[in-house]
Structure 1
């Protein structure tokens, strides 16, 4: 600042000196006119120099920043089922209207079920409860601010990671408002029922049931499993205070193909308040065949285990890892073959596959013997360079053979393979292209093709086990990757004629599952058509009630969400509104509401949550002191922040106007006095 003042003083001296030199010293006259002209010249020169110096100063502005108070309301069905919906609404209304609380905090209201949303209206109709999403979201958004959290809930979780563990990421005080009480009611329920989704015709499938009793006296009940009007299993069970749980394991026969539904029920005991949790419906899809997949390899590699795990995640498939010589002894037992990095020992394997017309999935890499492979098969040829390179991948959004889930392929680790072009003898459909340093190449990394009735897939890279690991890191589950591999296996398992309208759905859904039907529509050139107008008509077989819903375009497929429909058997038809193309199917929704399985709030867990976060828990009927304690809490004080702005001392527009005015005045005076 001192330096700027010195520059201004120096500029004033120079401007004054130049003005006096020109109009006083040189003219040798000191009339009023020369003095006035010297003044205007001084103003002009000094203003120009001020523009060049551009003096600035620091301006401080102080603002008060109030802490944020987050209020999250559990919007799940269990709140309504436990009878606390109205008291929860009243509490939210009270917090919104409290003027002292609004003066102290910036209030932000949210609701949560399976996801977090801004609170607009409380409907208490969410099918799942996942409090963990609150702490995941809030730790990212409010992690660096003062933002205590009031969570209004019964504490019962039905989905996601354990919220008590996830809450440790949120470094803020948490104040649970407990919707419920500590009263323990006498109750008998089916705590858990484990059964495989698929069974095979003429086999038996296992069922495991865990029954739990909460009470003081000894009671007896009967566990009964029915299918339609037939009782397929029954067993008497006894419970006491010391023996409060029973594990029942049994095997049921799969006698007919298709989806078979069952009902497991514990007969109610006297004075039992909640009998909804005594019943669980389940279903099994009985199939009359199982796909046997051979993984043929002459080397040991982590890819083999990753492929086996991914394929067998679908119980309709069985995978065996074999050496080439072992496969030749049992080739008739397999419907598909995965050829992993073929070498000179695969010649007879290719002959056996050709003779049996087995569909193949070939995986190539650094251990592939290309000189031999180019000889004993004619589908593709590799330019041999004996050099290897790592390639990443990018999804081909125009791939139209089957629906490919949009995984983060571009972020997956690179795969290694031979450097050079891979030429095919037949037209191919590319699923993934190669990329190097983010630049997409025209070379395929993963593709499919069909010759007559034989289908094949080729992955030109090894190291796919890293993809499965990365998928788990991204999604906390292997499901996405396993489904991706499963769709390739499903494509190789099917020889159906290609259709312009393809739909993907499950045969049955549990009551709280998302019921999503996915469709792809292709034009006459079998290119994905993102301008299609698809509609689904769903009919309840029992009531014959129908409803029509439009599909929504999501990336490279169309989706419709049928979640929330009543349990029952449904038949549906998907058709294009623009063309006479349609396809039909059937699905079943089982009757089960996980939100109605609870009798009490999870008091202990919510109290632990409050204590761990240095907050405090309250019951819904004891919140009168909550507002006062929040206002008095010194941890949530208003913070004064200073904002430093660098401001120009003089407006440059004003200076330009002043320069123009002084020059004009000087010119007019000189002109009037004949000095020009």
Structure 2
């Protein structure tokens, strides 16, 4: 019994002390080797599928390489995917985006990138001048021989035009060859040639630009085909033709911009709004305007000051739709007194407000165009208060701290709609958008969407459909639809479908939409070239929308005659790597294996382990105490 009591006390003490030991193990961490494979159709056009797959097989089965590196497999075309399943069906190539994405995945690590590609990029920024944290080793696939080729590189034109107006067209033609040639460039529409010009090319004059005007003669979407005559024995004639479209309209929305200050924002807003020819902007100083507000669908008030007092009285009487931009010159006392649905408890201090896209915004369809990367807007410091229903599309960030205060907001009451940008400096957003994507289109479309919403009548359609007029063959056709309830709030419980009708064959096909990111979306693939009419229908309701688009025979990946070896070599130089041809796998593996900057690291992993498991220890204590109690009782000591 004494032994049992002693054991119990010992176990209780052990339970309180809970002795532990530490064990240390070592883990070997290999450097990563990212194999980035071009999965676009241009590889199959060059008939390099087998060579590329054989190269990958030999590389992965090299035991010395697998012993030194942890291999990661990626494929890319327009986007990057973590996979080693290759089908060479990608309809576009974005090398810049793929290399940038892999860099982000392996930031602060040593992970060289093997880029297996022909180097022909169809979308994205110029990759040959990019910087990379990791060394890039391009492996060049495809014919590097330069063939004589004449092609249409690009056709630039306005997206919209007015009926019976002339619209400009700019065509860039490129010639790769030695001798001089003369060929005719022409534009066709509806089976008729509406423009032609004889062009001369030579080795010194290999790039020519043609600028001319066409007449918008028919309301609706007008399709055009530009073509250049082929050269004798030209290897690739798929790039001798390119299609484009122009939407011809017969009406125009008028916008008035009133200001009392001069600022770069004014020019940026005017350009962004007028990028759609359906809109015309009149800019006027407040003191100089003597017109009638009822003549305009929208009035923009740029940084209202005290001189706007009379203007507000006239606007209130006319119930004009407003687009207000505030800033460091704004008279917030005047603005607060107008009962517009918001006010600001402001101080005589200014603040820089960063931007953050509000993903739950549902007033109209608008994607995130990179708001967080845009420069901050400047306005008076203070707290905004709303006493009218409002929707915020961009929220404020103050010195990196996220807030729920809006930077851009929309208000609606009875017959009046108001958009408010709480800060000046939006011209910098337009410039930043251009630097980010190489075009003003994203920013201009954002401003256009805002203007379209504010100028829309109250009885606007509850179903809106967003699609392009023309698509290249074998590309993914993305169509988005936005459906609202009777209060014009996004309705996520509806069921939508689209019915396509091939204009030539009359064949009809129906597909359902999927609900994604506060909109209904569908991705159509493998449609044959031709013109398609479509009907988007809300099932069980009377709401529907009609439209059309054209799928051309033009394929971006088929326009190249040789691999872009020079660009890939330039990329290797800029990133500190080296370029190789597809038959130089031995030299590549030798370089990787002998490069001492890629080495394995040992990481110590310390684990703390409890010697005694408390559950079993507690069970032993209970058992010992119980046994002692029974023994005492048995011998009559209790």
TM-score bin (small chain): 0.7 to 0.9
Q: 1:195·1:208 contact (CA, 8 Å) conserved in 2?
A: yes
The 1-side partners of 2:608 and 2:187 are apart by 78
Distance 1:338 1:652 in 2: 73
Seen in structure 2, the aligned counterparts of structure 1 residues 466 and 329 have a Cα distance that, compared at 3 Å, is closer
Contact 2:392 2:406 in 1 (8 A): no
1:169 matched to 2:132: yes
SS in 1 for 2:187: strand
Compared CA separation, residues 355 and 201, structure 1 to 2 (3 A) = farther
Per-residue CA distance 1:651-676 (angstroms, 9 max, x = gap): 44565456556656666776677766
Q: Offset at 1:227?
A: 1.9
Relative to structure 1, is the Cα distance of residues 444 and 471 closer, same or farther in structure 2, using a 3 angstrom cutoff?
closer
8 Å contact 2:384–2:405 — kept in the other structure?
Answer: no
2:546 aligns with 584
Structure 1: distance between partners of 2:384 and 2:605 = 59
- Decide whether aligned partners of structure 1 residues 47 and 643 sit closer, same or farther in structure 2, where only a CA change above 3 A counts: same
**Distance in 2 of aligned mates of 1:470 and 1:79:** 36
Distance 1:77 1:66 in 2: 34
Please say if residues 76 and 112 of structure 1, whose CA atoms lie closer than 8 Å, have aligned partners that are also in contact. yes
Q: Superposed, which structure 2 residues align to 1:514-533 within 5 Å?
A: 515-533=477-495
1:124 alignment partner, one of 88, 107, 115: 88
Q: Give the counterpart of 2:53 among 81, 89, 101.
A: 89
TM-score by length of 1: 0.80
CA drift of 1:532 comes to 1.0
Residues 259 and 285 in structure 2, CA contact (< 8 A), matched pair in contact too: yes
1:261 — aligned with what? Answer: 223
Query: Contact conserved, 1:539 with 1:546, CA < 8 A, in 2?
Result: yes
CA contact (8 A) 1:365 1:417 kept: no
2:407 is the alignment partner of 1:446 = no
Cα 1:654/1:283, change in 2 over 3 Å: closer
Task: Give the C-alpha shift of residue 600 in structure 1.
Answer: 0.9
CA shift in 2, pair 1:383/1:291, >3 Å: closer
Other-structure match for 2:241:
279
Distance 1:487 1:54, change over 3 A: same
Equivalent pairs, count: 629
Cα contact 1:344–1:373 (8 A) shared by 2: no
* 1:13 counterpart residue number: none
Distance 1:284 1:495, change over 3 A: same
1:71-150 correspondence to structure 2 within 5 Å: 71-150=35-114
CA contact (8 A) 2:175 2:201 kept: yes
In the TM superposition, 1:403-422 aligns within 5 A as 403-405=365-367, 416=380
What is the distance in 2 between the residues matched to 1:598 and 1:274?
7
The alignment partner of 1:252 has SS state of strand
Of 356-365 and 536-545, deviating more is 356-365
Is the 2:175–2:202 contact (alpha carbons within 8 Å) kept by the matching residues of 1? Answer: yes
When the two chains are superposed, the root-mean-square deviation of aligned CA atoms in Å is 4.0
Question: Alpha-carbon deviation of 1:133?
Answer: 2.2
Q: Which residue is 1:323 aligned to?
A: 285
Report SS of the residue matched to 1:487. Answer: helix
Give the alignment partner of residue 422 of structure 2, picking from 456, 461, 464: 461
Following superposition, the deviation at residue 572 of structure 1 comes to 0.5
Distance change in 2, residues 1:148/1:397 (3 Å): closer
* Cα shift at 1:129: 0.6
Structure 2: 5+ residue runs without aligned partners?
none
Q: Tell me which residue corresponds to 1:245.
A: 207
| Whole-Å separation in 1 of the counterparts to 2:106 and 2:359 | 38
Higher mean alpha-carbon deviation, 307-316 vs 83-92, is at: 307-316
| Residue correspondence of structure 1 range 617-628 to structure 2 within 5 A | 617-627=579-589
Q: CA deviation at 1:396?
A: 9.1
Residue 269 to residue 562, structure 1, CA distance change in 2 (3 Å):
same
Give, in whole Å, the separation in 1 of the partners of 2:359 and 2:31: 47
Would the alpha carbon gap of residues 521 and 637 (structure 1) be closer, same or farther in structure 2, given more than 3 Å must change? Answer: same
- Indicate yes or no: 2:258 matched with 1:296: yes
Q: 1:152 to 1:446 in 2, by over 3 A?
A: same
The SS at the match of 2:85 is coil
| CA distance 1:186–1:527, shift in 2 (3 Å) | closer
Change (3 A) 1:641 1:82: same
Picking from 569, 572, 597, the partner of 1:607 is 569
Say which structure is richer in helix. 1
SS at the partner of 1:516? Answer: strand
| In structure 2, distance between residues paired with 1:57 and 1:474 | 58
Q: Larger Rg: 1 or 2?
A: 1
| TM-score w.r.t. length of structure 2 | 0.84
1:292–1:282 Cα change, 3 Å: same
SS for the counterpart of 1:169 is coil
